[in-house]
């Protein structure tokens, strides 16, 4: 092989290697940019979920007041959509640390729980209404009304828990560590106790409200503020 042929071969190999390196770098850069974009979108979605959780807390606050007034609500609300997490979370995993992954999974498990609770309460409400239309007021209705109130209280607490988790992640995005025995975990436990007490307070407040008022157009400012916890 002549020197010219060897030089051509060397240039060809070098060019091929340089092209491969450039392709790898381009692929890595595109992946990094994509993961960064998804991380931003995941955080933006959390901010949306915070507003949605607040909306649902307004709904449950009103239902708790109706329960306190010895009534049973006849309305429902829509659930929460977490499209970005469901469709793109897997693409951002490589850029998340362990605490971020745990936090996201906890938050979106709570989203599923809140959505399931909305459907369960709706089914319970429909069953009570059907029983009432068929047989009027009865001991069975009274018992079902107590179960309905306890269900509302539980779902109010689930939604409040979701909102706390969301806000905690947004405030401690780099390390949302909620491990047992940490100060953050202790704060969370105290918050849950406050939520239970607040639910009882809303129920007590409902005892002073005429049931007919709940048939009027609903102004959230006239009832319990969900962000007052």
Please tell me which residue, 55 or 218, carries the higher pLDDT value.
55
The domain spans of the chain are: 44-228
Name residues whose C-beta falls within 8 Å of residue 184's C-beta, 6 or more positions apart in sequence: 168, 172, 177, 178
More confident residue, 188 or 4: 188
CA dist., res. 139 & res. 136, Å (int): 10
Query: pLDDT averaged over the chain?
Result: 84
**pLDDT of the residue at 12:** 60
Residues 198, 192: Cα–Cα separation, whole Å: 10
DSSP calls for 15-33: HHHHHHHHHHHHHHHHHHH
- What's the length of the chain? 229
**Percent of the chain, pLDDT > 70?**
76
The CA distance from 32 to 28, in Å, is 6
pLDDT tens digits along 148-184: 999 999 999 999 999 999 999 999 999 999 998 899 9
**pLDDT tens across 102-152, in order?**
999 999 999 999 999 999 999 999 998 888 777 766 777 788 889 999 999
Q: Which residue in 177, 150, 152, 164 sits closest to 229, CA to CA?
A: 164
Contact 68, 224 (CB under 8 A): no
* Structural contact between residues 54 and 142, judged by C-beta atoms closer than 8 angstroms: no
pTM to 2 decimals?
Answer: 0.80
At 192 the pLDDT is 96
Q: What is 66-109 written as a DSSP string? A: HHHTT------------HHHHHHHHHHGGG--HHHHHHHHHHHH
Evaluate if residue 25 carries a pLDDT over 70. Answer: no
Q: What is the pLDDT of residues 45-58, one digit of tens each?
A: 999 999 999 999 99
Q: 3-class DSSP state for residue 151?
A: helix
Torsion of CA 154, 157, 162, 163, to 10 degrees: 150
């Amino acid at each position: 092989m002549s020197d010219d042929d060897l030089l051509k071969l060397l240039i060809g190999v070098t060019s091929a290697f340089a092209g491969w390196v450039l392709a790898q770098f381009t692929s890595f850069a595109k992946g990094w940019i994509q993961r960064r974009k998804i991380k931003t979108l995941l955080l933006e979605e959390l901010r949306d979920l915070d507003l949605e959780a607040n909306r649902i807390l307004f709904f449950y606050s009103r239902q708790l007041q109706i329960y306190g007034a010895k009534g049973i609500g006849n309305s429902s609300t829509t659930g929460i959509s977490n499209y970005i997490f469901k469709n793109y979370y897997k693409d951002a995993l490589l850029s998340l640390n362990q605490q971020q992954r745990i936090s996201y999974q906890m938050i979106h498990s709570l989203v599923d729980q809140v959505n399931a609770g909305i459907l369960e309460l709706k089914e319970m409400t429909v069953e009570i209404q059907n029983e009432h239309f068929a047989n009027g007021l009865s001991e069975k209705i009274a018992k079902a009304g107590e179960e309905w109130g306890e269900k509302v209280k539980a779902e109010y607490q689930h939604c409040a828990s979701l909102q706390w988790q969301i806000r905690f992640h947004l405030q401690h995005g780099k390390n949302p560590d909620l491990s047992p025995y940490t100060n953050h975990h202790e704060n969370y436990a105290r918050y849950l106790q406050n939520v239970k007490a607040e639910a009882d307070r809303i129920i007590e407040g409902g005892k002073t409200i005429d049931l007919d008022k709940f048939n009027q157009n609903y102004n959230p400012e006239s009832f319990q503020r969900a962000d007052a916890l």
